[in-house]
Amino acid sequence: MPCPDVIAWTTVITAYRNRGHSFHALAAFRRMSAASVAPNRVTMVSALGACADHGAIDTGAWIHRYVQKQGWELDVVLGTALVDMYGKCGRIAEGARVFSEMVERNVYTWNSIIGALALAQDGETALQWFFRMKANGVRPDAVTLTCVLSACAHAGFVDIGRKIFNLIVQGEYGFQPGIKHFGCMVDLLSRSGHLDDALRLVETMPSQPNAVIWGLLLRGCKAHGDSVLSEHVTLQLVELEPENAAHYVLLANLYAGTGRWLEAEEVLKWMKRKRLTKDAGWSLKMLEDSSSRYISDGDLMECAL
């Protein structure tokens, strides 16, 4: 095709973006501009999506200026794409301004703002937007509530998070919690030190918890110094992913960190027998009087200080 038109360029840009190749999508968009082919609204929506994925704020802001110069109305699709781009690039204030200029908004528009605030760990403002969304009669969807629960986790809003999660369970929003909602709640409870509640939630999930869920609980155990529960969770990870060497390293380090050197060495020997390896560079160092013991490259070693 010697002279691609706007439809051809838009097809290429959209295809790249949909396949997760945002860099190539933006490169195609720039080649299109260099060829003096004027973009249409569909082109801009796809390009803005690539900007959001790639963090290309300069290109995204240029598209916004172009839209303003052309006098295009910010319909729900184009406006939401701009809000999403600004939010994912960390320019939440600009995204909020675009939001206020839009005549029509949908749940995706609201999700873009709330999600950006959750990503920025501004839980209080994210909740304000969530309540504003509900006051405007917009029904939250699964993505909305994932963002809200994530915001609660980072802000430490345990009671609010529990209430929202319980409403999901009770069918208030028309669906049951998915694994992402459970993950956010486990994260919230673990971060805030409610480790027993977090474990109870994991063990009563309707589907099998995955490694991410257990990993969130393990992070909370480490943060709050619960070595007993850390061991239980790590053993669950080993059982869930028996070929993942990283879990055995965690277990060995846990044993070593509590002075159970023989058990730590047994784990490492078992790894060798199973030919499980982890990239070099990991280590555990523990001071004991005049000596330092550490695990490195699959061996339990001791050296004098």
Instruction: Dump pLDDT digits (tens) for 248-259.
Output: 888 888 888 888
Q: Report pLDDT for 19.
A: 96
pLDDT digit string (tens) for 85-112? 999 999 999 999 999 999 999 999 999 9
Residue 111 domain flag: no
Given 105, 130, 152, the domain boundary residue is 105
Number of domains in the chain: 2
Note the pLDDT of residue 1. 52
| pLDDT at residue 276 in the model | 78
The verdict on residue 61 lying in a domain is yes
Q: Give the per-residue pLDDT at 116.
A: 95
**Any domain includes 25:** yes
Give the type of residue at 183. Answer: G
Asked whether residue 251 is domain-assigned, the answer is yes
Report how far residue 66's alpha carbon sits from residue 68's, in angstroms, rounded to the nearest whole number. 5
Q: What is d(CA 82, CA 40) in angstroms, rounded to the nearest whole number?
A: 15
d(CA 215, CA 200): 15
* Structural domain that includes position 73: 1-105
Residue type present at position 67: V
Are the C-beta atoms of 187 and 217 separated by less than 8 Å? no
Asked, for residue 163, whether it belongs to a domain, the answer is no
Q: 285 has which bridge partners?
A: 294
pLDDT at res. 248:
86
Residue 254 lies in a domain: yes
% of the chain at pLDDT higher than 90: 77
Query: Is residue 42 assigned to a domain?
Result: yes
pLDDT in tens, 132-151: 999 999 999 999 999 999 99
| pLDDT for the residue numbered 253 | 87
Sheet holding 291-296, edge to edge: 283-288, 291-296, 299-304
Give backbone dihedrals phi and psi of 150, rounded to 5 degrees, phi first: -65, -40
Q: DSSP label at 137?
A: T
**Stated pTM of the model:** 0.83
Among candidate residues 113, 120, 184, the one with its CA nearest the CA of residue 153: 184
Which portions of the chain are predicted below pLDDT 70? 1-2, 278-305
Residue where a domain terminates, one of 56, 85, 105: 105
Q: Which of 75, 105, 135 is the last residue of a domain?
A: 105
**Does residue 257 lie within any of the structural domains?**
yes
